[in-house]
Amino acid sequence: MKKILLFALISLLFLSSCTQKKKEELRIATNSWIGYAPLFYAKEKGYLDALNIKLITNVSLAEAVDIYSVGKADLVTTTLHEYHMLKNSGHAIVPIILLDRSNGGDMILSNRTIDELVNAKQIYAYLEIDSINAEILEDFLQHYKIDQNKIKYINKDQAQIEDLKPQKDKNILIVTYVPYNLSLEKKGFKEIASTKDMETIVVIDSLCSNQATIDIYQRRLQELKQIIDRSIHEIEANKQLSYEITKGYLGNISYDEYVNSFKLIEWINNPSKKLLKRIKPMDYDEKQLIK
């Protein structure tokens, strides 16, 4: 009888331990973007597993936000747009780790020249409407004085947009980002603008969470920051190895495309005072950032 009770007690403790471990799992919702390569790298190297952190990869910014919004993720990667969208919808969300700044990595493609678009009667614009894509497009239209009334907005995720082909009888604008631009450019679409030459918009990618998660898992999030820093260092030190590890998350792009994609972003995991000053009005609280 004592043996039976002892076995039952051990079984109960084991189940309790497993349940507790499951409860402590942290989930990050993200999407395919070259600036999130450190997370993909950390996942494949086992660095995230060591912290019991799961990565949930999606095809679009909006999908990652939806996963977080309904409580299926504890953290989410966002640009300023998605961060404010979540905050304005009632989420007590806080940017805690800065990752990268787009420096040409977000772009607008078209099958027409800018002059042709200015004079066009109708333009079909493909983008993720509930994302930073909308702000990039608005900035582009204002800069070139293209009438918004002639824009037909078509909401698609990047996997769907990637299937588009140039059409002779259709004026097309596409708001996209690395790596999705690569296959579109191979089909004949040309880059006509990017965050490299858009001075009025700053696209910052950060990892966000709610205050309760930050308070409970502060130490683990600090360890996550160290892992991100380590992953960036290892990616920069050995591009060939990091390519083999992360290419599956980036549409299996070629090695040359992979290397060139990093030229379109700037790592800001250790942000400069100048950058922090510039993004402070955008509601990024330096005191909340893990450094």
- For residues 209 and 221, give the distance between their C-alpha atoms in angstroms, rounded to a whole number: 10
Taking the alpha carbons at both ends of the chain, their separation in whole angstroms is 56
- For residues 252 and 271, give the distance between their C-alpha atoms in angstroms, rounded to a whole number: 30
For residue range 142-192, list pLDDT tens digits in order.
999 999 999 999 999 999 999 999 999 999 999 999 999 999 999 999 999
DSSP 12-26: HHHHHHHHHHHHT-E
Q: 4 pLDDT band (50/70/90 cuts)?
A: very low
Question: Which residues, 6 or more positions from 6, have their beta carbon under 8 angstroms from its beta carbon?
Answer: none
Q: What is the rounded average pLDDT for all residues in the chain?
A: 91
| Helical segments of the chain, H only | 2-23, 37-45, 47-50, 61-69, 80-88, 114-119, 132-143, 158-161, 180-187, 211-216, 218-237, 239-246, 255-261, 273-279
- CA angle at 291 for the pair 32 and 198, rounded to the nearest 5°: 50
Q: What is the pLDDT of residue 200?
A: 79
Q: What is the pLDDT of residue 110?
A: 98
The domain locations on the chain are 26-103+203-288, 106-194
pLDDT > 90? residue 18: no
Going from the C-alpha of 114 to that of each of 91, 119, 186, 235, the distances in angstroms are 39, 9, 20, 36
The fold of 106-194 is: D-Maltodextrin-Binding Protein; domain 2 (3.40.190)
Token pair in block for residue 120: 């066009």
Mean pLDDT of 114-126: 97
The fold of 26-103+203-288 is: D-Maltodextrin-Binding Protein; domain 2 (3.40.190)
- For residues 280 and 268, give the distance between their C-alpha atoms in angstroms, rounded to a whole number: 14
Question: Which residues, 6 or more positions from 28, have their beta carbon under 8 angstroms from its beta carbon?
Answer: 39, 53, 54, 55, 56, 73, 74, 75, 76, 77, 207
Q: What is the pLDDT of residue 235?
A: 98
Q: 199 pLDDT band (50/70/90 cuts)?
A: confident
Q: Are 59 and 156 in contact (CB under 8 A)?
A: no
For residue range 210-263, list pLDDT tens digits in order.
999 999 999 999 999 999 999 999 999 999 999 999 999 999 899 999 999 999
Amino acid identity of 157? Answer: D
- The reported pTM is 0.86
Token pair in block for residue 109: 């493609």
